[in-house]
Amino acid sequence: MRIFALVLLLSLKLFAIDATLEIVKNTNKIPYIVVERLDSDNADFGTKILKMLVADLKVSGHFQANDGGVVKPTHITYKDYADKKIDLLAQIKVSKSSNTLTGTISLYDINASKHIYTKNYTEDELKRFPFIAHRMTIDVNNYIHAPSIQWMNRLVVLSQYTTSGNSEILIADYTLTYQKVVVKGGLNIFPKWADSKQESIYYTKYLEVPTIVRHNLATGQIEQLVGSEGVAMVSDVSKNGENLILSLSPTALSDLYLYNTKSKNLRRLTNYSGIDVDGKFVNDEKEIIFVSDRLGYPNIFMMRIDGGGTEQVVLHGRNNSAITSNGQYAVYTSRETNNEFGSNTFNLYLISLAPGSNYIRRLTASGKNQMPKYSSDGGSIMYLKHYKAQSALGIIRVDYNTNYFFPLTKMKIQAFDW
């Protein structure tokens, strides 16, 4: 995908800030930063990294950012920048040697009239140039002591359909500008990160039956875990990576199971004649939230890991088919229309999981909004949006009421994890 795909197609103000969500920055007071590119050895990658850096700074929600273009190296005249109401200046240059890229950023605090730091960032694969920009952004963000945006440097793992009966698994940066196929051949679906370091993944591969496997991305080693005649997928992974919530259907329709990766013990959590899927750990992993059709249509329920009673969580909508959680809040999909022969609208809603809370907030307003996934820090939500004939990967910065989209071209995503 070309760098131009990074253009932020839409930045929507959603709904009024809720008292339950803390606003960490006042958008009227966030610093104004200009990014300039110095004459360098490689104008092609220099331009790409500059555009990516400006976009990253905007997505963070902590900066007003502008592209300052190409300049010649010279002494910094702080007053000239101050007269333009600029708070921070970032000057970058990029050099290429064989298949290695090195990006250098010099950051200047205009108000303090001083040079803050100069740092180098290296990638040994040219296609990974977005990560140079992402890491630059993280360091600039750290300088102003803003809330962490480390999620920008994390990989997304996704499966995409290629031909009939075939799909491949890729890893990508959060904009999908960098993409690398890591699994191909046959049907490979439902990828899930196996550990916080993102060294291994789980996914479902069709062998004799759908089978959950663990794949070490560094060594290529593949370990088979559990197979099931119908559904077999990893729905969630505990923070320490030792426990998995599996959706399996060994005899009939799917139920949820707890699988321990050390003991290999498999324990059934739900025992319902219908469909229970998509379980997620919540409340310090003492409970799970999941999708069930036990009301005659998909809805969201909660239960204790130790076998407590099942409780309906969502009282809104009649088709709530996907759920994600950061432990304290959950985001689910809800069908808003009931068109039997045409397209329907699916929106995302955020709810509090606090006992007795009836807090609910709509996050999207149009189109089909599906597959919500929380970021590792629980502050952002990634999802797929389909509107008319266009598809995009969306990111909601929850505390900032902003929504950014990255267009999808020639990609049919089956599932992803962040």
Q: Are residues 171 and 308 in the same domain?
A: yes
- In whole angstroms, what is the distance from residue 333 CA to residue 35 CA? 38
Q: Are residues 293 and 313 in the same domain?
A: yes
Q: What is the mean pLDDT of residues 59-64?
A: 94
Domain that holds residue 311: 154-417
- What pLDDT score does 339 carry? 67
Kindly state the helix (H) or strand (E) to which residue 54 belongs, with its residue range. helix 43-60
Q: Length of the chain, please?
A: 418
Where do we find the tokens 């321990």? 260
Q: Are residues 162 and 88 in the same domain?
A: no
- What pLDDT score does 25 carry? 37
192 close to 174: Cβ distance less than 8 angstroms: no
List pLDDT tens digits, range 296-305: 888 999 999 9
Instruction: Report the first-to-last Cα separation within the chain, whole angstroms.
Output: 19
Q: Are residues 43 and 175 in the same domain?
A: no
Assess if residue 223 is contained within a domain. Answer: yes
Assess if residue 267 is contained within a domain. Answer: yes
Assess if residue 5 is contained within a domain. Answer: no
Q: Are residues 113 and 177 in the same domain?
A: no
Q: What is the mean pLDDT of residues 349-365?
A: 89
- Confidence bin at 26 (pLDDT 50/70/90): very low
- The CA–CA distances, whole Å, from 23 to 16, 26, 28 equal 11, 7, 12
212 close to 226: Cβ distance less than 8 angstroms: yes
Give the pTM: 0.87
Q: How many domains does the chain have?
A: 2
81 close to 75: Cβ distance less than 8 angstroms: no
Q: Are residues 250 and 143 in the same domain?
A: no
- In whole angstroms, what is the distance from residue 219 CA to residue 200 CA? 9
Assess if residue 11 is contained within a domain. Answer: no
Q: Are residues 199 and 252 in the same domain?
A: yes
Q: Are residues 136 and 191 in the same domain?
A: no
Domain CATH for 217: 2.120.10.30
Contacts of 165 (CB under 8 A, 6+ apart): 186, 187
96 close to 42: Cβ distance less than 8 angstroms: yes
- What pLDDT score does 133 carry? 98
Among the residue ranges 87-101, 103-117, 127-141, 350-364, the one predicted with the least confidence is 350-364
Taken in order 264, 265, 270, 273, the sign of the CA dihedral is positive
Radius of gyration of the chain (CA): 23
Question: Cα 246 to chain center, whole Å?
Answer: 21
Domain CATH for 97: 3.40.50.10070
